[in-house]
Structure 1
Amino acid sequence: MRNFLCYGVSALALLAISTPVFAQTPPKAQDDPNQVEEIIVTAQRRSERLQNVPLAVSAVSGNQLSTLGINNPTELRFVSPSVNFGNSANTRGEGLAVRGVGTQIFGDGVEQSVGVVVDGVPMGRNGMGIADMLDVDRVEVLRGPQGMLFGKNASAGVISIITRAPRLGETSLDVQGSYATKDEIKASMTANIALGEQAALRVTYGTTERDGYIFNKVRNEYLNNRDSDTLRVRFLADVSETVRVQLSADWGNSNSLCCSWTARSAPATTPFGALNAASGIVPSPTNLTNAAGATFFQNQDYRGLTSQVDWNLGWAELTAIAGYRYWFAIDNNDPDILPINILDRNSGDSKVDQTSFEVRLASPAGQNFEWTLGLFSFEMLNKGGNIQAGTLGLNLGPGGTVGSDRRSTTINKSDAIFGQAAYTLFDKLKLIAGARYTDETLSVDWTQVQASNTIGTFPGRFYGSASASRGETNLSWRLTAQYNVTDDILTYVGVSRGYKGPAYDQGLVNSTVVFADPEIPTSYEAGFRSKLFNKTTIFNAVLFSTEFKDFQAQVFDQNVFPSRFTVANAGKIETKGAEVEFVSRPMTGLTLSGNAAWIDATYADFKNVACYLGQAQLPFGTTRTSPRQCIRINSATGPFVTEGTGNKLTNSPELTWNFSANYEQPISTALKGFAQINYFWRDDVSFSAAGDPNAVQEAYGLLGAQLGVAAADGKWRIALFGKNLGDEKFVNNVIGQPVLGATGVYSQFPSPDAEQIVGISFEMSFGN
């Protein structure tokens, strides 16, 4: 299948290669200026109005993201309550979550439950999709299993980022910039160049800089800064009346002293507490200081090529997409965050080469019978590893350290055939069925040796080489019934079965590769979409319930030496809840919008998870009176385990909501003024699968505002803005301190958004 797709896409690329020609915001009726515009989305791989899509999908326009100063997927949680972000010590362990479900695992052999797709190309590695968003037309957030039509392994949802296509017949220049607290500078420039009547070029460059917010007292430097640059070039041409062509290339680079953490709590009687006190550091939930002796850094380079052809055959629309992605990341951190060499070398690197090919046919819209049929092929080569070295607190003599050096090559191949059909009965009832058959293989070769410039190896690890491969086939599907009560009210119910492929644990303590089983969700949804009050208000709501079998979870085990992260299948997790969203224009110039998500996400069956440090331990052989008790189940010297069953999923708030009010008013024939206020609320969350009561972030709310003036013709805009005006303090993660851990010793990842931010922004447009 892969060769067929390669040859097919290559042949089509000789004719043309591009994105579909769709107006993203249809004109509203001229007789009512307060009607809410409807965004055009491609959530079902065809262009349609968002209000006509019988799925749990929402869309955020590029203009809205720009107004709120959002230019990275990690910040989507502030506009889409069902989305969350899991912070980590590096991008290889970061991840997005939808409805409480996401993957936050360091391993090279584990993919994300939430897929990130950019202009139709899936990002195969966690971290690849966490890059600055540049010149974005819209972001579509698809909630629930989405692997039927989108890319691969999207068992919990998809974040689909669609950038702006070149505009035919237009030569223009758009400039945007802002300056804010912490010397934060965001700037971008986009040139749209008409190349005759049938072709255009669009070039965009953007840069982001921001000072760090964690101070390292030993190295006298601020950590967790931002310094990134992005460049994208897109070419579009109408080859004929039926064929449109586009080629796209992008490049990006990010270098930062990231990603550091700080001491949250540490009794003075513990080594960690005493050493922090000696460095003049007081652990606390608001502590923004550490004394790391080794450097923190994280450098990333990425680039890609995308080609797409859309060919109107009359009886169907043919779309072919070919994508290549390269991503390289290298990082180091100091796990003890103190001026002692417990584990000063803790570096990792990952180099990814990824190719993907997709060909699909879609019938014309508006017919009683509509269908989509496609083929997809994907291959990702990931070469990486990590080096760890230090004293581990052992007395090894002057300059003596022990360490390990792991190198691995991971290959993931996936081929699929997918399709969806919809049939309309009685002009009101539409039945939809979709399915995807996937054939996937995950292969790994790795070697672990003693690290250079050390006198010994880490205890408890296997040194040598190993290789293994695992293949899986799967049929995922979706069934939906859609009923249009009126032209303005749509209801639907649906059931779907998703899929995320196998993974492997790179703990490297065994001579064999340990695989985790595929992750299989089954989801039920019921929802409605409505346009009310003469279409001046949009109100949508969804009820959902999803059960994940063999969810791939990461657990931090501090009961072994040295402590390590492991990958395991949580037998079953459940997430259920309700989501609502609205947009309303009650009067000329005023727009109110908001959305909320109530989510109950729990481990329904997660046995033998590592106990948290300090949890009361029962003697071997003692009978449990509660599954939450910590016992040894294998032997008198085996690891202590408990049950995560019934605990909340990590980093999953029960209630999240936001509200925004925007008002515009003409000042003169040439000027208009505008004001905006927004508020974001997030419930408390736990960061421990084992239910550690000390790994909790309390609820918080963030207030933002904006005030400015703009040209009536939209040619320029300037505004003063503020974020977190209440100066709320919170963190993105709480962990048991990974080195020098003890009962009551915790560290945290402070959030860059946990301080009051004020600034000024501007936008200017030139040309036609």
Structure 2
Amino acid sequence: MRSILLATAAMITIGTPGLALAQQAPGQSAEQAADQGNAGIAEIVVTAQRKAESAQKAAIAIDAVTGDTLLQQGISKAEDITKSVPAITITNGGGSNTSIFIRGVGNITSSSYNDPAVTPSYDGVVLGRAAGAFGSAFYDLARVEVLKGPQGILYGRNATGGAVNIIPARPELGKNGAGFNVSFGNYDAVNVDGYLNLATSDNSALRVAATRQIHDGYNRDGSDDLKRTGLRGQFLIEPSDTLNLRIGADWTKVGGVGPGGTYIGAFTPGPAGYTFTPSGFDTSEGFNTDAANAYRKTLIGAPGFGFLNAMNQDASTDFTYWGVNAELNWKADIGTFTLLPAFRKSSGNSYFYGPAFNTAFNAETDKQYSLEARLAGSVGMMDYVVGGFYFNEKINAQNEYNQEFVLPIQDYTHKTKSWAAFGQLTAHVSDRFRLVGGARYTRDKKAMDGIINNFITFCGGLPPANITPPASFAAGCAAPGALPHYPNFLTTGDTVNWLATNGWIAPGSTDQANTQVFALLNGKGTILKTYSPVVDSGTYSRVTWKASAEFDVGPQNLLYATVESGYRAGGFQLAEGKSSYNPEFITAYTIGSKNRFFNNKVQLNVEGFYWKYKDQQITYFTVDTSGTLINSNENAGKSTIKGLDVDAIFKPTSTTTLNGKVQYLKATYDDLHLFTASPRDNIACPFTLTGGTAGGAPVKDFNCSGKPLLYSPKWTVNLGAEQVVPLGHALELVGNVATAWRDDQWGAFEYLDFEHIRAYWQTDLNLTLRAADGGWSLGAFLYNLENKRRIATPQRSPIGMAVARYTAPQTYGVRFSANF
């Protein structure tokens, strides 16, 4: 089947993600299919430019995936959106934080105070944290829009990599209807969602939707499971032709074990570097099985260099996300005024292991208020959009990242206030030629009031008097009971009291608001308690801009060229000696063409892009001047990103659809330097010594220039085919196959071999029997035909292990849908 698809792809000049994919929906009737066949490929209406327009008429790089396509491809959560959008990668290495990459632009972080490089939005409301949007379920959606490249003018907050907008299906006036989808699959999967649309009057409507999604863990310790419940309501009223108001509310509860991972192996330092020893586990072992814990206890952890313990706490996640928002549109003589007020809150906690912590805990509450106001209209040859944006966010968090001989404890409040004024003009120079110019002034104010304390147990004395292997074995540090293994405390007072009560340090020892040193009473080691408060604030501002030209070569042929800039504010962090980082910037050049041919039977869209990226914010494990391990956000230097997207759809008949997307991407660091010291210096890049020291060890400058950006495969290919077979006048049989190729890519900045994600294919199959009138459908699905789990998030643990989270295994089941 794959070879057939590839051959077909070659014949029809298949392409990539630069655009929208329009397919026959599973619930279409034969009459609808025939109508669509006469009209050719269906249109998808998008609102990415703050107006409703066909994706084919939008002179921007955008993928739009309809709600029907999401259902058909089994996309019920954000991580799976790459099935339809090859340019995007979404990862989670543990906890509630989510990392988003588009064409290599993104950031991996476990800290919620780092802004995303790719801005998530729900129903047009920008979200400060990706977890709020992507922790929620994908159900009863109109579409998901993915914009590629900097969004610095019309789209909420500034973003350097792009934006993802999740758009729910909206209430429909004058219509009473309902529908549901229910599916059952392996891993005891049950996925149920439904909606109800009520015409409450001639000019108002209510839409309510809900979902419940569950499946057992893909790993033997129960991790990578799913327990999610969602509820959404919207009310729309249109008192007149010039005024409408829509009010919405949504709520999501996420529970279960949460994201997991597996030990790939461990690194042992030596005179010639690091030696890697595989763990022997398959991709589904997990961190908290008997076998995994037995393996863990054979490993030693720095800087105490004692053997590690089994996991001390079961992993779990318990988060609630909810929000309210409204959209008011008023058509006046000067244009349409739109107001978008919103409030969102997320709160909860999670115990998690990645990357091989024992055990990390996050307890966090995020609140955000936002308000956007804009006016869109026309004057003579000019179309205009002007507006303002306000964003106010507050994060309260208590975190610990237990590494057994190192216990980092964080407690902080982080605040962000952002103001922006924006405008965009479109000059209709002629009926076919348009010039577009836009600018946005943004002012971001950030404040951090927090503290990070580290309890660090050294074998022997403090550096440089600490003892390392093999001498640490002779010193007795690896003997059972020689060193304390920290419990999962959230306060320094509890930790000091535990150490004193259990006889590790002197009786009567107390916690003080400064750096402290405690000698172990058994003489085996020394504990350093660091004290690093961060109370700081700062303001960042930037003017971002856009200039483009659009030319209608024909009624269904668009040619465009754009240059635009993007910016992501700097900020503050809980990292000793490195409490702040600077903004990052990008300038993107794009030329594209969107086309329909042969009476809408063929769609061919092409986009070429060239991006210059400066001061990228990356997060990696490094050390401060005392030798303390810190997870620091750094400005990485420069990179160049360039490539080509092609997107093709061929619909020779009303019952046959072929589609393909291809992206060629070359994303390379022109300048990337990582600084660290032993024993955290396992990085596969050449280095020079800086002359400085950290914890008595020389600081190394690793030059990773020339390496590719993370999650930037050189080639990505998505191919699909759908065939509808009429079975008389009452029934239709629909077959769908989709396969995707992802080229080699890197998943972490150390560029170690296990972080190299090898190229792979993944294929999904659907077979559906449906009523010709669209009233019901019954289908079977098989996802991941190859039945292989691929590395999704590789992580080099700060205590020496190589670990990874993997993609889903093969899943299959049946689905029943109905509409009334």
- Does the TM-score normalized on the shorter chain lie above 0.5? yes
Tell me how far 1:694 sits from its aligned partner.
3.2
What TM-score, normalized to structure 2? 0.81
Provide the aligned length of Structure 1 versus Structure 2: 698
Tell me how far 1:710 sits from its aligned partner.
0.5
What per-residue deviation string (whole Å, max 9, x for no partner) do you get for residues 581-623 of structure 1? Answer: 1222112200111212111112221123447979789xxxxxx
Bigger drift between 555-564 and 194-203 goes to 555-564
Tell me how far 1:315 sits from its aligned partner.
3.3
Cα distance change, pair 379–667 in 1 and its aligned pair in 2 (3 A): same
The 1-side partners of 2:102 and 2:363 are apart by 27
Q: Which amino acid aligns with 1:437?
A: Y
What per-residue deviation string (whole Å, max 9, x for no partner) do you get for residues 138-184 of structure 1? Answer: 11111000121111131110111111111111111101111112111
The 1-side partners of 2:733 and 2:803 are apart by 45
- 1:518 maps to what in 2? 583
- 1:452 maps to what in 2? 494
The answer on whether the counterparts of 1:368 and 1:423 sit within 8 Å (CA) in structure 2 is yes
Question: Which structure 2 residues correspond to residues 658-697 of structure 1 after superposition, within 5 A?
Answer: 658-697=718-757
Is 2:551 the counterpart of 1:483?
Answer: yes
Cα distance change, pair 558–184 in 1 and its aligned pair in 2 (3 A): farther
The 1-side partners of 2:188 and 2:623 are apart by 39
Question: Secondary structure at the residue paired with 2:68?
Answer: helix
The 1-side partners of 2:223 and 2:810 are apart by 18
- 2:410 maps to what in 1? 406
Cα distance change, pair 609–637 in 1 and its aligned pair in 2 (3 A): closer
Q: Which amino acid aligns with 1:518?
A: P
The 1-side partners of 2:33 and 2:383 are apart by 26
Cα distance change, pair 524–503 in 1 and its aligned pair in 2 (3 A): same
- 1:254 maps to what in 2? 254
Tell me how far 1:285 sits from its aligned partner.
5.6
The 2-side partners of 1:627 and 1:675 are apart by 48
The answer on whether the counterparts of 2:665 and 2:714 sit within 8 Å (CA) in structure 1 is yes
Equivalent residue for 2:80, pick from 62, 75, 83:
75
The 2-side partners of 1:363 and 1:76 are apart by 34
Q: Which amino acid aligns with 2:109?
A: I
Tell me how far 1:390 sits from its aligned partner.
6.2
Cα distance change, pair 461–308 in 1 and its aligned pair in 2 (3 A): farther
Cα distance change, pair 390–737 in 1 and its aligned pair in 2 (3 A): closer
- 1:574 maps to what in 2? 640
- 1:196 maps to what in 2? 201
Tell me how far 1:692 sits from its aligned partner.
2.1
Q: Which amino acid aligns with 1:232?
A: R
What per-residue deviation string (whole Å, max 9, x for no partner) do you get for residues 83-136 of structure 1? Answer: 1112312222x2111111112212233100001111110010131221212211
Bigger radius of gyration, 1 or 2?
2
- 1:358 maps to what in 2? 372
Cα distance change, pair 238–647 in 1 and its aligned pair in 2 (3 A): same
The answer on whether the counterparts of 1:414 and 1:440 sit within 8 Å (CA) in structure 2 is yes
The answer on whether the counterparts of 1:647 and 1:690 sit within 8 Å (CA) in structure 2 is no
- 1:376 maps to what in 2? 389
The 1-side partners of 2:571 and 2:267 are apart by 38
- 2:805 maps to what in 1? 749
Equivalent residue for 2:670, pick from 598, 604, 611:
604
Q: Which amino acid aligns with 1:305?
A: V
Q: Work out the percentage of aligned pairs sharing the same amino acid.
A: 25
What TM-score, normalized to structure 1? 0.86
Question: Which structure 2 residues correspond to residues 720-759 of structure 1 after superposition, within 5 A?
Answer: 720-739=780-799, 741=800, 745-752=801-808, 755-759=809-813
The 2-side partners of 1:178 and 1:364 are apart by 48
The 2-side partners of 1:686 and 1:408 are apart by 32
- 1:551 maps to what in 2? 616
The 2-side partners of 1:628 and 1:136 are apart by 48
Question: Secondary structure at the residue paired with 1:76?
Answer: helix
- 2:347 maps to what in 1? 328
Is 2:641 the counterpart of 1:583?
Answer: no
What per-residue deviation string (whole Å, max 9, x for no partner) do you get for residues 62-86 of structure 1? Answer: 1111111112122111110111112
The 2-side partners of 1:170 and 1:422 are apart by 36
Cα RMSD, aligned residues only: 2.8
The answer on whether the counterparts of 2:89 and 2:102 sit within 8 Å (CA) in structure 1 is yes
Q: Which amino acid aligns with 1:42?
A: T
Question: Secondary structure at the residue paired with 2:173?
Answer: coil
Q: Which amino acid aligns with 2:555?
A: D
Question: Secondary structure at the residue paired with 1:80?
Answer: coil
Tell me how far 1:347 sits from its aligned partner.
0.9
The 2-side partners of 1:164 and 1:707 are apart by 25
The 2-side partners of 1:142 and 1:135 are apart by 21
Tell me how far 1:404 sits from its aligned partner.
4.6
Q: Which amino acid aligns with 1:306?
A: N
Q: Which amino acid aligns with 1:549?
A: K
The answer on whether the counterparts of 1:322 and 1:357 sit within 8 Å (CA) in structure 2 is yes
The 2-side partners of 1:683 and 1:612 are apart by 33
The answer on whether the counterparts of 2:678 and 2:698 sit within 8 Å (CA) in structure 1 is no
- 1:21 maps to what in 2? none
The 1-side partners of 2:74 and 2:739 are apart by 14
Tell me how far 1:451 sits from its aligned partner.
5.3
Cα distance change, pair 762–377 in 1 and its aligned pair in 2 (3 A): same
Q: Which amino acid aligns with 2:802?
A: Y
Tell me how far 1:448 sits from its aligned partner.
4.0
The 2-side partners of 1:387 and 1:615 are apart by 23
Is 2:815 the counterpart of 1:761?
Answer: yes
Equivalent residue for 2:318, pick from 299, 318, 336:
299
Structure 1: 5+ residue stretches without partners: 1-24, 217-221, 338-342, 393-401, 618-625
Tell me how far 1:322 sits from its aligned partner.
0.3
Cα distance change, pair 663–327 in 1 and its aligned pair in 2 (3 A): same
Tell me how far 1:503 sits from its aligned partner.
2.3
- 1:19 maps to what in 2? none
- 2:147 maps to what in 1? 142
Question: Which structure 2 residues correspond to residues 49-88 of structure 1 after superposition, within 5 A?
Answer: 49-88=54-93
The 1-side partners of 2:244 and 2:33 are apart by 26
Cα distance change, pair 609–654 in 1 and its aligned pair in 2 (3 A): farther
Tell me how far 1:520 sits from its aligned partner.
0.8
The 2-side partners of 1:596 and 1:652 are apart by 13
The answer on whether the counterparts of 1:111 and 1:153 sit within 8 Å (CA) in structure 2 is no
The 1-side partners of 2:91 and 2:396 are apart by 24
Cα distance change, pair 120–268 in 1 and its aligned pair in 2 (3 A): closer
The answer on whether the counterparts of 1:299 and 1:331 sit within 8 Å (CA) in structure 2 is yes
Question: Which structure 2 residues correspond to residues 387-466 of structure 1 after superposition, within 5 A?
Answer: 387-389=400-402, 391-392=404-405, 403-448=407-452, 450=492, 452-453=494-495, 454-455=498-499, 462-463=530-531, 465-466=533-534
The 1-side partners of 2:373 and 2:101 are apart by 28
The answer on whether the counterparts of 2:236 and 2:244 sit within 8 Å (CA) in structure 1 is yes
Bigger drift between 380-389 and 115-124 goes to 380-389
Cα distance change, pair 558–377 in 1 and its aligned pair in 2 (3 A): closer
The 1-side partners of 2:634 and 2:687 are apart by 20
Which has the higher relative contact order, 1 or 2, with Cα contacts under 8 A spaced 6 or more apart?
2
- 1:496 maps to what in 2? 564
Question: Which structure 2 residues correspond to residues 330-349 of structure 1 after superposition, within 5 A?
Answer: 330-334=349-353, 344-349=358-363
What per-residue deviation string (whole Å, max 9, x for no partner) do you get for residues 279-300 of structure 1? Answer: xx73356655633522212221
Bigger drift between 175-184 and 441-450 goes to 441-450
- 1:108 maps to what in 2? 112
Question: Secondary structure at the residue paired with 1:128?
Answer: helix
Question: Secondary structure at the residue paired with 1:223?
Answer: coil
The 1-side partners of 2:355 and 2:120 are apart by 33
Question: Secondary structure at the residue paired with 2:70?
Answer: helix
The 1-side partners of 2:438 and 2:262 are apart by 48
The answer on whether the counterparts of 2:682 and 2:750 sit within 8 Å (CA) in structure 1 is no
Bigger drift between 726-735 and 347-356 goes to 726-735
Tell me how far 1:757 sits from its aligned partner.
1.4
Cα distance change, pair 594–616 in 1 and its aligned pair in 2 (3 A): closer
Tell me how far 1:691 sits from its aligned partner.
2.6
- 2:328 maps to what in 1? 309
- 1:219 maps to what in 2? none
Cα distance change, pair 298–727 in 1 and its aligned pair in 2 (3 A): same
Cα distance change, pair 345–470 in 1 and its aligned pair in 2 (3 A): same
The 2-side partners of 1:567 and 1:127 are apart by 19
The 2-side partners of 1:336 and 1:627 are apart by 22
